[in-house]
Structure 1
Amino acid sequence: MTLSFHSLGLSEARVRHLEKAGFTSPTPIQAQAIPHLLSGRDVVGLAQTGTGKTAAFSLPMLEQIDLNNHAVQALILTPTRELAVQVYQSIRTFSDDRRLHVLPIYGGQSIDLQIRRLQKGVQVVVGTPGRVLDLLSRGDLKLNKLSWIVLDEADEMLNMGFIQDVEKILAQAPAERQTAFFSATMEPSIRELAAKFLRSPVTINVEQPKAAPAKINQLVYIVPRGWTKARALQPILEMEDPESALIFVRTRKAAAELTRQLQAAGHSVDEYHGDLSQSQRERLLLRFRQRQVRWVVATDIAARGLHVDDLTHVINYDLPDSVESYVHRIGRTGRAGKEGTAISLIHPLDKRKLRDIERHIRQRLEIGTIPTRAQIEARHLQKLQDQLREALAGERIASFLPIVAQLSEEFEPHTIAAAALQMAYDQTRPSWMRVEHGYTDDPAGDETRTRPGAPKPKPVKRKAPVSSQ
């Protein structure tokens, strides 16, 4: 029997609105959590990102909000600004009642504007712990009428050092309230927090399939000894030529450095990390979604709020610390039945991590070979040939025929065509592969062989070949 939102106890009006918005059947976490939350129970929900957690806590909460009361009745805490905005947008999707006022609050946005909105009346606040505490200490955020508190992605909140802030907020909330924690993992610190602040909670554990989605083609490239990862990544990107890609790195510094190197090579790429202001993040996210920038280099924490449809590639420049994070990362591509590609760069010392990932997803990953210069040039020539066929079928070609006619008096037509192709190829050829940059795909070489100004290796004296005559 297929479950429906109506069978979970949601109102007819809510179910009709969800159906109009395209939500027809609940996910496992929604099916298990919604009835308990509607009955007033505290809940600890264990489920990965992307399983429908937001609806699992938002829908029962919206059923019980008093829309005629403009006091804050529900508080949802999130680890990042991006997730706060995402949850806010989801709640707006789940309700079309104009009497519902939802406010996202986070650092990087005008606190005076947030205070004015609170003064006008807000029933649901979605915010990061730091800004919530700030507004509480000023007396501008009042929790005396609060009946709901939700911790979303609790494990990330604790990993980011928000444990003390969260405890202070929970301590200021009314004792008579409903509380829900949602987390990908049940770490000891979360268990302790739940024991301290939740009342006889129901624990819901939605098992994620360990195997990675079938539509994702996973490749691993082992970085040759003496090579940097940046050097290995360049030819891979040239061969793959991703339409859109998320490139995961470990640190903000690595994100900035890799972005600089890729931009210098002529790629459409930008960085996304915690040092960016909120307005910078929002602008980049908009540009990425509109395909104004093709690739984004991001840290894990910043990328939690970075969701883009039709993402063709996920690249693990640095492997994540946990196998769960690997599955979460690559799951951003290959969605809605479409194919995606996940690429990981590893040093020989990372092979143990690779084995852990393979055990977790229950499959062996294909080991690729760093593309050679000849392979990349062959790909570029094929791409140029495809573009040439498109041009031959277009109307603009007539504008260039007089030039061809004039040059035909001196050169053969096929020679003219070859020269034009050479010019086009040289314009599109990646700068890092040009002769003056000293590109080599010799795995035994090190960076000194390609760096400008480095001493040239001494020529090897070879014996003259013996004549057979």
Structure 2
Amino acid sequence: MTTTFKELGLSEACLEQLEALGFTKPTQIQQEAIPFLLEGKDIVGQSQTGTGKTAAFSLPALDLVDPKDKSVQVLILTPTRELAQQVAQAIEDFSENRKIYSLTVYGGQSIERQIRSLRRGVQIVVGTPGRVIDLLERKDLKLDNLRLAVLDEADEMLSMGFIDDIKTILRQAPKDRQTACLSATMPREIRDLIDRFLQSPVTLTVKQTQAAPKRIDQHVYMVPRGWQKIKALQPILEIEEPESALIFVRTKRTASELTSKLLEAGHSVDEYHGNLSQVQRERLVKRFRDGQVKLVVATDIAARGLDVQDLSHVINYDLPDNAETYIHRIGRTGRAGKTGTAIALVQPADRRFLKQIERRLRQKLETAKIPNRAQVEAKRFAKLQTTIKETLAGERMASFLPLVRELSDDYDAQAIAAAALQMVYDKDCPNWMKGNWEVPEAGIEKPILKKKGNRSSRKDRYSNSKSSPKDKSRGGKLRSEVIIEQ
């Protein structure tokens, strides 16, 4: 029997707003979390990205709030300002028909403005740990009447170094409050936090029969030995032509370098990482959502704030540290019943980790060959042919006919057309295609373990040297060595 939102115990005001927003069926985490939170229990929720965790705590939070009480009753902590904004927007959408006031607090915003809002009275505060600590120290944020504390993406807050801030905040909250901890993974430090600050929590785990949805088409490209990954990525982008893609990298430096190289190649691309100001982040998010930027190169932590619908591709330029993060990344595409493509660039040293990902996914990932020059040129010729047909159907072509007639006195018509096409093709051809980038026929070479031979061969090796292995060894003994030839 299908569970409805009404069966979960939500208020009529909440149900009316859900109906107005088009929400019809709760997700698994919502079905499990909402009744327990409404009953006043602490919960620990573990589920993947895109499973509806925000609504799972936001909806009961709104029903727990007393609209007549203007003090802070709900505190939601998030790892990034972008996620704080997303959660705050969801709460605003869910509470549109009720007089419940919320405030988003994070660094990069005027703290004086946030203080003024707190003094006027808000019931829900959504923020990052650092700014919440600042407001607590100023005595402008008071948690005396707090009913519910929510730790959203707890594992990310741990990885960003906020664990001590979270403890400081929870110590200042009433002991009889409710606490909800939501996390995709459960590291030891998070479990210790749960044991210390939660009261007999109910553990909710959303299990998936298959970690990655079938609607995500996954491809692994093996990067040839000696190649830089950018050399492999460029022909892949030419063939894939993503409408909108997130390209994940490990560091801010890699994000900047890769963005520069892709810009040079003519791609619509921008970078997204922790060094950007809040204004720069918001501007980039808007441009990405509006389709003005097709590719965004991002680090994992920054990308938490990039919630873009209809993302066609996720590209793992750098593989993450664990399989769970890989699943989080690719889960950003193929949403709402649509298909998506996930691409991973894998170097020889990554093969063992690739096996771990496959075990976690419970599926074998398809290995694809990097497109060669012939394939890329065929794709570009096809696009050029389409452009020619569109031009032939236009009206401006007539203005060039006198020039063609004049050239026809000395040249064949086909030669003139071919020369014009070559000019267009060469003008649009990126610099990387003009160099030597052909994929090796043999693919990726495996490391060759070669054991060196006997004393005589070693002696010959040093025959032209003033010193010998014996001279550089205390005992004068020759040692066999294993050399990996690359």
Q: Which runs of 5+ in 2 are unaligned?
A: 443-486
**1:308 aligned partner:** 308
Q: Select between 409-418 and 359-368 the one with higher mean Cα deviation.
A: 409-418
Structure 2 residue 128 is the aligned partner of structure 1 residue 124: no
Match of 1:220 in 2: 220
| Equivalent position of 1:440 in the other structure | 437
CA shift, 1:308, in A, is 1.1
Name 2:196's counterpart in structure 1.
196
Q: Counterparts of 1:392 and 1:69 in 2: how far apart (Å)?
A: 70
CA contact (8 A) 1:269 1:295 kept: yes
Please name the residue that 1:5 is paired with: 5
Q: Distance in 1 between matches of 2:426 and 2:33?
A: 59
Q: Which residue of 2 aligns with 1:28?
A: 28
Aligned amino acid, residue 440 of structure 1: W
- How far 1:12 sits from its partner (Å)? 2.0
Secondary structure at 2:304 match in 1? helix
Q: 1:233 aligned to 2:212?
A: no
Deviation at 1:398, TM superposition (A): 3.8
Structure 1 CA distance for aligned equivalents of residues 183 and 273 of structure 2: 22
1:339 deviates by 2.2
Post-superposition Cα deviations, 1:400-439, rounded to whole Å, max 9, x if no partner, equal 44443444444333333222211211122112222xxx33
2:455 paired residue number: none
Q: Is the 8 A contact 1:229 1:317 kept in 2?
A: yes
TM-score in terms of structure 1 length? 0.91
Please give the secondary structure, in 1, of the residue aligned with 2:103: strand
RMSD: 1.7
Q: Tell me which moved more, 92-101 or 179-188.
A: 92-101
1:337 deviates by 2.5
Distance in 2 between residues matched to 1:65 and 1:396, nearest whole Å:
65
Structure-2 separation of matches of 1:433 and 1:104: 48
What is aligned with 1:173? Answer: 173
Q: What is the alpha-carbon distance in structure 1 between the residues aligned to residue 211 and residue 386 of structure 2? A: 37
Larger deviation, residues 206-215 vs 16-25: 206-215
Q: How does 1:275-354 map to 2 (within 5 A)?
A: 275-354=275-354
Query: How many angstroms apart in 2 are the aligned matches of 1:288 and 1:373?
Result: 30
Q: Partners in 2 of 1:440 and 1:187 — Cα distance?
A: 43
Give the aligned residue type for 1:147: R
- Secondary structure of the residue aligned to 2:141 is coil
Letter in 1 for 2:416: I
The answer to whether the Cα contact below 8 Å between 1:144 and 1:173 also exists between their aligned partners in 2 is yes
Superposed, 1:21-170 pairs within 5 Å as 21-97=21-97, 99-170=99-170
Q: Provide the C-alpha distance between the structure 1 equivalents of 2:165 and 2:104, rounded to a whole number of angstroms.
A: 18
2:20 partner amino acid: K
What is the correspondence of 1:307-456 to structure 2 with a 5 Å cutoff? 307-434=307-434, 438-441=435-438, 443=440
Report if aligned partners of 1:72, 1:124 keep a CA contact under 8 Å in 2: yes
1:245 is the counterpart of 2:242: no
Report how far residue 354 of structure 1 moved. 1.1
Is the 1:100–1:123 Cα contact (8 Å) retained in structure 2?
A: yes
SS at match of 1:374: helix
Q: Match of 1:439, as an amino acid?
A: N
Q: Which moved more, 1:290-299 or 1:180-189?
A: 180-189
Alignment check: 8 A CA contact 2:217 2:340 kept: yes
Distance, in Å, in 1 between the alignment partners of 2:23 and 2:164 is 37
C-alpha separation in 1, matches of 2:35 and 2:120: 32
Question: Residues 30 and 55 of structure 2 are in contact (CA less than 8 Å); yes or no, is this contact kept in structure 1?
Answer: yes
Deviation per residue, 1:244-282 (Å, 9 max, x gap): 111111111111111111112221111111111111111
2:483 match: none
The 8 Å contact of residues 150 and 181 in structure 2, kept in 1 or not, is answered as yes
CA offsets per residue over residues 184-239 of structure 1, 9 Å max, x none?
A: 12222222211211111111111133342112221111111111112221222222
- The 2-side partners of 1:120 and 1:348 are apart by 59
Preserved contact between residue 225 and residue 444 of structure 1 (Cα < 8 Å): no
Aligned residues: 442
Matched-pair contact (CA < 8 Å) for 1:38–1:60: yes
Of the structure 1 ranges 303-312 and 384-393, higher mean CA displacement relative to structure 2 is found in 384-393
Mapped partners of 2:293, 2:278: distance in 1:
18
> Aligned partners of 2:234, 2:311: CA distance in 1, in Å?
19
1:221 is paired with a residue of what secondary structure?
Answer: strand
Alpha-carbon distance in structure 2 between the residues aligned to 1:2 and 1:442? 53
Shift of 1:338: 2.3
Gap change, CA 1:338 and 1:405, over 3 Å in 2:
farther
How far apart in 2 are the matches of 1:404 and 1:112? 69
Which residue of structure 1 aligns with residue 462 of structure 2? Answer: none
**1:461 alignment counterpart:** none
What's the counterpart of residue 466 of structure 1?
A: none
Distance 1:140 1:327, change over 3 A: same
Partner of 2:266: 266
Task: Sort the Cα spacing of 1:440 and 1:199 in 2 relative to 1 into closer, same or farther, 3 A.
Answer: closer
Q: Deviations over 1:39-80 (max 9, x none)?
A: 111111111121111111111110121222221111000011
Higher mean displacement: 217-226 or 29-38: 217-226
CA contact (8 A) 2:13 2:97 kept: no
The secondary structure found in structure 1 opposite 2:285 is helix
Tell me the amino acid that sits aligned with residue 151 of structure 1: L
Contact 1:249 1:317 in 2 (8 A): yes
After alignment, is 93-102 or 164-173 more displaced? 93-102
User: Contact 1:221–1:346 at 8 Å: present in 2 too?
Assistant: yes
SS of structure 2 residue aligned to 1:180: strand
Given the two structures, how large is their TM-score scaled by the length of structure 2? 0.87
* 8 Å contact from structure 1 (residues 314, 333) kept in 2: yes
Match of 2:437, as an amino acid? T
Amino acid at match of 2:104: P
Whole-angstrom CA distance in 2 between matches of 1:260 and 1:383: 25
Alpha-carbon distance in 2 for matches of 1:37, 1:431: 58
How many angstroms apart in 1 are the aligned matches of 2:407 and 2:68?
A: 80
Contact 1:266–1:431, Cα closer than 8 Å, also in 2: no
